[in-house]
């Protein structure tokens, strides 16, 4: 999980506008596409040619301004694979109009999915769930859930069934059935019970709410709006954002395992104070920065 942009509203000399990439076995889930997303993807070696889903939280420029250039670059690279795009319904109209005016000739199909509260979208490796966020315009939050994993692999069981070590073992560990001497062997014969995948929550721009705390329940990593410090709470209320302490309080109520603060106002040259505020409430907190990569640990079986 890599942060490509972590600033709010305007970029700074060290922070681009919001974009977060989840990578798993060649698949990319890109959450928001702020200005500078292409450069961040190149710097962090985020591949743009494989299976990809883009999740847009809302139609403010700092969250979508980078998407046209990204799509054009993919076309110039002769991408052919379909791309799934999820976001508010008005995103489709905006994209159609601006693509036509700027002559963005796509070489691949886009599957547009209109976000709605409670919707669920499938990708090759994940399920994406959607909830309403509390912002100044229509906005959504997302939970990206990795598909259930096969259970623990037991080599002794495989040997007892006469399965030679190598590719067939690997296939069974990945949840695929195999053929041995004309017999079909399923993963359940050599593995334990299925294990849960990882769960990442992404707030986008929002005020905290009880419904979001429920939505983000037991996330392994929660990425939450932390635009302001506690001392600027009035600004957070007025502009429909969250403070660092509010993000931490929601993470605690949600039972999240880890919290990453992001979307920082350019008024703060350092995020150390925001992290201190958050850790008083939720100790397992980090501040995102451009280029930061986090390996999301698997939950306990």
Cite the active site residues.
62
Place of tokens 């721009």: 205
131, two tokens: 């909830």
């Amino acid at each position: 999980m890599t942060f490509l942009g972590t600033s709010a509203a305007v970029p700074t000399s060290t922070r681009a506008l919001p974009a977060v990439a989840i990578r798993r076995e060649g698949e990319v889930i890109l959450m928001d596409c702020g200005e500078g997303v292409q450069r961040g993807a190149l710097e962090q070696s985020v591949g743009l040619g494989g299976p990809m889903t883009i999740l847009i939280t809302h139609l403010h420029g700092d969250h979508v301004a980078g998407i046209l250039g990204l799509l054009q670059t993919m076309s110039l690279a002769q991408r052919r694979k379909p791309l799934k795009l999820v976001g508010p319904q008005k995103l489709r109209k905006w994209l159609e109009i601006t693509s036509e005016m700027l002559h963005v000739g796509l070489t691949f199909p886009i599957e547009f999915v209109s976000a709605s509260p409670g919707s669920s979208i499938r990708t090759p490796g994940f399920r994406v769930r959607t909830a309403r966020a509390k912002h100044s315009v229509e906005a959504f939050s997302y939970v990206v859930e990795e598909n259930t994993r096969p259970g623990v692999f037991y080599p002794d069981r495989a040997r007892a069934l006469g399965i030679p070590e190598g590719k067939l073992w690997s296939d069974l560990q990945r949840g695929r059935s195999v053929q041995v001497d004309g017999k079909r062997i399923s993963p359940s014969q050599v593995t334990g019970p299925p294990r849960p995948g990882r769960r990442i929550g992404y707030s986008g721009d929002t005020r905290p709410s009880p419904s979001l705390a429920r939505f983000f329940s037991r996330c392994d990593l929660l990425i939450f709006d932390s635009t302001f410090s506690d001392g600027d709470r009035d600004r957070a209320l007025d502009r429909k954002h969250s403070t660092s302490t509010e993000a931490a309080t929601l993470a605690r109520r949600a039972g999240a395992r880890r919290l990453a603060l992001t979307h920082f106002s350019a008024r703060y040259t350092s995020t150390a104070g925001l992290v201190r505020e958050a850790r008083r409430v939720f100790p397992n907190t980090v501040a995102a920065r451009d280029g930061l990569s986090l390996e999301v640990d698997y939950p306990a079986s």
